[in-house]
Amino acid sequence: MNDRVARFTALVGSQPDNPLFRFSLAQALDSAGDLAGAARHYQLCADARADWMMPRILLGKALLRTGKPGARAAARPVLEEALALAIAQDHQDPAIELSGLLASLE
């Protein structure tokens, strides 16, 4: 476990309901190559806030990077939800990126 993962694991352990600590842990796990661990925490962040676009984007991307059978099918609804949020919140660059990513899944 690298220092960043250890630090955020401890913070999540001390405040498990803090979505910002959990999001930081997800990013640290993602950077360390633990895609399954990152996906679990991104999903918890997405579940914590219906309007939080970024954990959905990163969850979808992490699912795709696993390369596992069914990863594309699992990522699609997550990325579609992220796209809907990007459009609703007027985040143009993420909307463009997500549109392209979803088109590549077809």
Give 10-residue mean pLDDT values along the chain (106 residues): 92 95 97 95 96 97 91 95 98 97 91
The pLDDT value recorded for residue 97 is 96
Residue pair 29/38 in contact by the 8 Å Cβ criterion: yes
The pLDDT value recorded for residue 67 is 85
Q: Tokens 């990007």 correspond to what residue?
A: 86
Dihedrals φ, ψ of 89, to 5°? -95, 5
Of 24, 59, 61, which is closest to residue 6 (Cα–Cα)? 24
End-to-end CA distance of the chain: 37
Sketch out the chain's domains with CATH numbers. 3-104 (1.25.40.10)
